[in-house]
């Protein structure tokens, strides 16, 4: 009794523990299996990358002020961050990796960069 490929159902020749007849079938099978998860992760990573680039562009010197409308005009999405940092005084900074922002009064934002 022979074993058959999980992707193409072709006969497998070789080691007894093989599940696929070729690398192509193995990759195709795993890509189909993870398709939905990969699209979600890809979309989130793309949004985080775009937000990061916007903050990086607006904050070349490591600390500056900007407005909410300027961030929104460039396509910034406030729903996507990587982490928050709350100071001892209770002030919360929102970060995308090493670049963050602090909401101020009148729709202004302080942009900061963490020391590397």
Beta strands (DSSP E) in the chain are 63-67, 83-86, 92-96, 99-103, 108-113
Bridge partners, residue 99, by sequence: 96, 113
Which of left, alpha, beta for 48 (phi over 0: left; psi -120 to 50: alpha)? alpha
pLDDT along the chain (116 residues), means of 10: 85 90 93 77 92 95 94 96 95 95 95 86
Are the beta carbons of 20 and 7 closer than 8 angstroms? yes
Give the distance from CA 87 to its chain's centroid. 25
Give the span between the Cα atoms of 39 and 45, in whole angstroms. Answer: 10
pLDDT of residue 69: 95
pLDDT of residue 116: 65
CB-based contacts of 2, cutoff 8 Å, min separation 6 = 11, 12
Beta strands (DSSP E) in 9-77 are 63-67
């Amino acid at each position: 009794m022979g074993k058959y490929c999980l992707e193409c159902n072709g006969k497998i020749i070789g080691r007894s523990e093989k599940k696929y007849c070729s690398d192509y079938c193995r990759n195709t099978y795993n890509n189909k299996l993870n398709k939905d998860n990969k699209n979600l992760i890809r979309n989130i990573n793309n949004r985080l990358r775009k937000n990061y680039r916007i903050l990086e562009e607006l904050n070349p010197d490591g600390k500056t002020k900007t407005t909410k409308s300027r961030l929104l005009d460039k396509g910034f999405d406030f729903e996507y961050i990587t982490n928050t940092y709350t100071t001892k005084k209770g002030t919360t900074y929102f970060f995308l990796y090493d670049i963050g922002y602090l909401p101020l009064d009148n729709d202004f934002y302080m942009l900061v960069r963490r020391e590397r």
